[in-house]
Structure 1
Amino acid sequence: MTAIALTIAGSDSGGGAGIQADLKTFSALGVFGTSAITAITVQNTQGVRDVEDISPHIVAGQIDALYEDMEIGAAKIGMVSRIDTIMAIASALRRHKVRPVLDPVMVATSGDRLLQSDAIDALRSELLPQAIIVTPNLPEAALLSGMPVAKDEAQMIAQAEILLRAGAGAVLVKGGHGTGPESTDLLLDGNSLIRLSRPRIDTPNTHGTGCTLSAAIAAGLARGLPLADAVAQARDYLHGALQAGATLAIGKGSGPVHHFHRWWR
């Protein structure tokens, strides 16, 4: 069977993050990509200028149409900015018995806020318990756990454990916002802790890294990989995309990673 994955996220007119990054990632990893668009953003490499949300009815309708027609092997959730959108997605996921990869997109690379403040509790209560894995960076893990931004691995573990108790199947706390020569992610599932480290890449082109990683995890799951293996191959793919992306010259701000680095330079 053809492996199929679904991204539920916002559109990035700059092409480096959101739906566009997810579909590129699915294709790069040999998976057919489908999408349910939650919002249209007006943005480029320098920042987000405006956001227009898609109606919750249409968001849920996209999800229903896809699951009624296709054998979707995995799904990921990215930008969901409003409470009513979160509720509509959560209900659709329950209807189709889906446990998604949840990327809690709260702030863009440019620093622009993408999740309304009153929607954080809804994301925590409605989507987190349904997620097979949640993939917060350090600021997102702090917001979701109600703690200060983690300064060391012990604090990262403590925040991950809070999210596990909230119902997440597994938590990948990403260390990309940290410091030091290595970027270390921690994967916890309630039974084990896996420490994943890579040399930190010095590049301004980091737009869409979170979207790309979570989409790559979903691609691995759609292809039948166990969760830990899907995370490992996703991190390998993102590392290569970051390395190759450092040579790209796209836009005047924070450019994208190179999703097709294995095919063209």
Structure 2
Amino acid sequence: MNNKQYILTIAGHDPSGGAGITSDIKTFEAHGLYGLSVCTAITVQNDVEFNQCIWTDTKVITNQVEILFKRFKISVVKIGLVASWEVLEKIVVCLKKIDKAIKIIVDPIIKASAGFDFHSTENQNRLDKILQDCYLITPNYNEIQQLYPKLNIQDTITHISSLTNMYLKGGHRIDKKGVDELYYNKLIQLNILPLATSISEKHGSGCVLSSALASAIALENNIEDACKSAKYYTEAFLNSNTSLLGTHNYCKN
């Protein structure tokens, strides 16, 4: 083998390369990591239009995971787009069966930026068990309101942070635009303030932040430093150009 450091993304394929596994791989590469990927879905989309999602069979997903772990040492896995919480649970169970110590970072994609809903009518009850097996979840303010629809935002934050660590993305906040929050060890909260005074909107920015965070954790940063690193990497990505498709630049950790 060699001395490469590996990291895995389990997510959908976006033909535009702005989101999903392609975006994750670019982010991993920018952090000096070798990215492996498992495809959960093929999407019919570009950076402004989303028409269709063709889901990968769950057994094919877990078979992809298993054969990669036979060959590569992987300590951190980022999970993005999945068909349902039931599928997510099967993926998490598969990963934990392979390695109980694996660090799983979940980016709960509820709605595509072009308006396509993924989990709008789903029973969320099984989420509790899933989250207990995850290291970190990275919802934005729109997504967190849909994870547990019967709870308000503050109760949802309290509930999720009692189960796992959470990085709450603040790009959709009304009160403190761009201020992210980290909840870990059940109670501790860290506000992560933006450095940029303005940003240029990008397709797939949520994927970039979660994969940058996963990268920093794979590089053995502590959770606070990993979150700050991911925040500022994403800001640089957002302001890399004025189009909807950003550019990834090498990141020194």
Q: Structure 2 length normalisation: TM-score? A: 0.89
**Residue of structure 1 equivalent to 2:141:** 138
Aligned residue among 215, 218, 223 for 1:222: 218
8 A contact 2:13–2:21 mirrored in 1: yes
SS at match of 1:207: coil
Aligned residue among 163, 168, 175 for 1:173: 168
8 A contact 1:59–1:85 mirrored in 2: no
SS at match of 1:117: coil
Q: Structure 1 length normalisation: TM-score? A: 0.85
Distance 1:67 1:126, change over 3 A: farther
Distance 1:211 1:149, change over 3 A: farther
Partner AA of 2:170 in structure 1: G
**Residue of structure 1 equivalent to 2:110:** 106
Aligned residue among 204, 207, 213 for 1:208: 204
Q: CA RMSD in A?
A: 2.1
SS at match of 1:51: strand
SS at match of 2:110: coil
State which drifts further: 55-64 or 79-88. Answer: 79-88
**Residue of structure 2 equivalent to 1:260:** 249
Partner AA of 1:257 in structure 2: G
**Residue of structure 2 equivalent to 1:21:** 23
Give aligned pairs, total: 245
Deviations 1:31-73 (A, max 9, x none): 1000111110010012211111111111001111111211112
Deviations 1:48-99 (A, max 9, x none): 1111111111100111111121111211110002355223202212212223
**Residue of structure 1 equivalent to 2:68:** 66
**Residue of structure 2 equivalent to 1:129:** 132
CA distance in 1, matches of 2:61, 2:55: 10
Partner AA of 2:240 in structure 1: A
Q: Offset at 1:109?
A: 1.2
Partner AA of 1:240 in structure 2: A
Q: Offset at 1:257?
A: 2.7
Aligned residue among 232, 235, 243 for 2:231: 235
CA distance in 1, matches of 2:114, 2:7: 27
Distance 1:148 1:82, change over 3 A: closer
Distance 1:149 1:178, change over 3 A: farther
Distance 1:148 1:110, change over 3 A: farther
**Residue of structure 1 equivalent to 2:121:** 117
Partner AA of 2:103 in structure 1: R
State which drifts further: 91-100 or 6-15. Answer: 91-100
* Structure 1 runs of 4+ with >3 Å offset: 119-122, 147-150, 179-182
Aligned residue among 87, 90, 100 for 2:89: 87
Q: Offset at 1:206?
A: 2.0
Partner AA of 1:118 in structure 2: E
Q: Offset at 1:119?
A: 5.8
Deviations 1:3-50 (A, max 9, x none): 211001011111100111100000011110001111100100122111
Distance 1:148 1:42, change over 3 A: same
Distance 1:209 1:130, change over 3 A: same
**Residue of structure 1 equivalent to 2:161:** 164
